[in-house]
Structure 1
Amino acid sequence: MPGGVDPISELQRLTVSLRGGFEQKNGCLVFHFTGQLDAYSEKQFMDYVGDVLKASKLASVFDLSKIDFLDSSGLGALVQIAKLCKDAKRTFAVVGNSRVTQTVKLVRLEEFLHLANDLPTALSQIAA
């Protein structure tokens, strides 16, 4: 990333297979994750996101474009996060890559999770 820090290098290790971090961008919390969101990392993912969401009222984008693997436990965690956001009347979106998008669409959760193809699209959806 020219002139800046690669956000992935700044991610903290949540588990052996999942790293995560967040930044504030355009008045939103943007979470970035890389690795695997699965049965082994779901609890740490939920604890981390839950703690950050409790400390802020901002709209949130969950950037999963660098997630290599998403299983049913990871999907369950995303549904729980979506419910937390809805209960708090917090606008949110999920950004997926082809693997994440395919998994989410397979269980028909793309509308519930406000699935977007990329970060700029997600940010514009939230701003609208």
Structure 2
Amino acid sequence: MTKCLDDGPNHVILDLSKIDFIDSSGLGVLVQLAKKAQTAKGSFQIVTNPRVTQTVKLVRLETFLSLQTGVDVAIENVPSK
């Protein structure tokens, strides 16, 4: 993912809707990727399911990590420029 943010498009959508569990290491990686996207003036949106969303909310990162309920919603929220 880091390489994608370095070399690829400025706007990335990561679909985590099929995973059942995320721990502090995974959350740390998502925070690093979100910061990297901000630095590059891009966006990094994460599609989640209720279980992942609950974990992210426990550590109060839901706004910073730009959680989305579906890929279609995330695509609609990609900045136009």
Same fold (TM over 0.5): yes
Aligned to 1:117: 69
Contact 2:10 2:37 in 1 (8 A): no
Deviation at 1:127, TM superposition (A): 4.3
Larger Rg: 1
Q: SS of the counterpart of 2:16? A: strand
Deviation at 1:81, TM superposition (A): 0.4
Query: Greater helix percent: which structure?
Result: 2
**Moved >2 Å (runs of 4+):** none
Deviation at 1:95, TM superposition (A): 0.7
CA distance in 2, matches of 1:85, 1:127: 13
Match of 1:82 among 34, 38, 58: 34
Query: Greater strand percent: which structure?
Result: 1
Higher relative contact order (CA 8 A, sep 6+): 2
CA distance in 2, matches of 1:91, 1:124: 12
Aligned to 1:56: 8
Count of residues paired in the alignment: 80
**Structure 1: stretches of 5+ with no match in the other structure:** 1-48
Alignment identity in percent? 50
**Structure 2: stretches of 5+ with no match in the other structure:** none
Pairwise CA RMSD? 1.3
- The 3 A distance-change label for structure 1 pair 127 and 89 is closer
Contact 2:37 2:44 in 1 (8 A): yes
